[in-house]
Amino acid sequence: MNEIPVTSIDRDTQVIVIRGPKNHISIGPIFKDFRYLEVLRVTDSLVPAIGQHTFWGVLNLKVLDLSRNNITSIREDNFRGQDNLLELDLSSNKIVRVPSASFRYLTDLRSLNLADNFLEELVPRQFLNLASLKWIDLSGNPLVDLKPEVFRDVQELKVLRCRRCQLKQINPMFYSLLRQLTELDLGDNHFKYLDKEEFTYLKRLNTLRLDGNQLSVLVDYLFEGQRSLQHLDVSRNRIVKISSMAFENLNNLTHLDLSYNKLLGLDIDIATRLTSLKVLNISGHLQLDLVESKFAFQLLESLTTLSVADMGYLPASLFKSLPHLRELNISGNHLNDISLEMLLPVTKLERLDVSRNQIKGIDMRIVNLIVKLEDVNLAYNPITCDRCHMGALIDRAHTLKWSKLPSCFLPESHRGTEISDIDGAGLDFCMSLDDEEDEDTNAASTSRNILSQGSLNILALIAGLVFIIVAVLIVGIVVCYSRHRARYYTHEDKRDLGATEKSIDPPATITSNEINFKFPIDDHVCITDELCLPPPPPPPTKQVPTLG
């Protein structure tokens, strides 16, 4: 599509949606006759620019979405006449700079999305006349600073997102101007340290995301003023220590994500301050001592959701003190069939993730527990579909309402087949040990438990490439060494020849009492390979007769 077919659209239309990806559209003042238009979305259509007075006369427009286009700049007359616009989405374009006061005609705007552009700087009074703005997303722009004067006109802002920028620190005056913030997202930036007074002014925060930074410690009283905080995400940092008073006054915190840091343990003093915690994620801590940390779990009486994935080892008694859990993630822990017995104390479980483990079969006691669950994820396990491993679950597969039923890995004849498609009456009682070992040699036991035949082919291909590269390197080294030796001996031969030539003394010409070692101009110097002939004798002198 190269143009919007406005002539074939009813003038009373309230919603127009145009999506690519094969469009190449230029827009201009073509919507002036759509007086009742409220929602306009032109996305993924390679729109190069908004155009002057494009939306003039469209008085009822509430939502304008121009995301995923090729817009490079914003002009102050692009939005003239849009006093009633509530939402503006310009994300995923190629905007490099937005001039000051470019949005000043959007006096009733509530939501502004500028994410995933190329903005390196926000200029003062960027948001002039946007006093009603509540939500703004600046994520994915190479911003190194959030200057306080830029946000002086949007002090009623509730939500600010600036993920995947290049922020290292924030001026405290920025927080002092935005005291009404309830959600702040600063994930995937470059923060290394947060002072205990960092968020002093943000007393209304409900959600704070600091994931994907470079924090190594959470200091005492860091969140002391955030009594309303309910969601805190500090995952994917480098945190090795959480001070005992770091979570002071977080009595209303319900969701805490500490996953993929470098913690060694979960302090009891920390757990005593998280009296309302319902969701906890501590996955990815290979060195965390879960045996000691289980005492901290006992204090989390409100906990209903726990994720301990990618821990490497789980104590058998870990969940005895958590019978009230509703959701549990224990994926990626090399659990086997016997390890599932740790689930028996968790009688109120509703959702379970045991993917990426080494589970071959499930016995009757565990089957009686998990068939009652709303959802179970058993993906990427070497499920063995025979009577003694999976017979009990296969017999009840038709009653399961899980989002994805497990598939067989062994025997090879059933590989990739969901258990609901297996005829339980035709199952082998038990695969022979030799067959099982032969089949297991084809299983890829990686950190993500990639258990497909295709992965083996990829591994074989990689091994072949590595062998070829090593062989080429060895041949190259041998060739270089041979050439070096050849150059060495050639150089030695030249040195010997030069020494021989220098040993031949040049002929001397003796004049009076001096000895001249320079070669005469007319003399011919012979080298050893030439035949030297003696110079011809001088002509005889004629005697002039004397007159008597």
Total count of residues recorded for the chain: 548
The reported pLDDT for the residue numbered 98 is 94
What is the maximum alpha-carbon separation in the chain? 158
Question: For residue 326, what is the DSSP state?
Answer: S
Q: Are 170 and 189 in contact (CB under 8 A)?
A: no
- CA 358 vs. chain centroid, Å, equals 27
The reported pLDDT for the residue numbered 345 is 95
- 493: pLDDT strictly greater than 90: no
> Which tens digits make up the pLDDT trace of 3-42?
888 889 999 999 999 998 889 999 988 998 999 999 999 9
What pTM was computed for the model?
0.78
Which of residues 479 and 171 earns the better pLDDT score? 171
Task: Give CA–CA dist 103/138, Å, rounded.
Answer: 15
Kindly provide the residue ranges of all beta strands, DSSP E only, lying in 197-341, ordered along the sequence: 207-209, 217-218, 231-233, 241-242, 255-257, 279-281, 305-307, 327-329
- Pick from 247-261, 368-382, 451-465, 523-537: least confident: 523-537
The reported pLDDT for the residue numbered 447 is 38
> Which tens digits make up the pLDDT trace of 377-434?
999 999 999 999 999 999 999 999 999 999 999 999 999 999 999 998 888 888 764 4
- Pick from 162-171, 197-206, 507-516: least confident: 507-516
**pLDDT classification of 465: cutoffs 50, 70, 90:** confident
- 119: pLDDT strictly greater than 50: yes
All structural domains of the chain, each given as residue ranges with its CATH number in brackets, are: 1-154 (3.80.10.10), 191-303 (3.80.10.10)
Task: Give CA–CA dist 256/305, Å, rounded.
Answer: 10
The reported pLDDT for the residue numbered 540 is 56
- 543: pLDDT strictly greater than 60: no
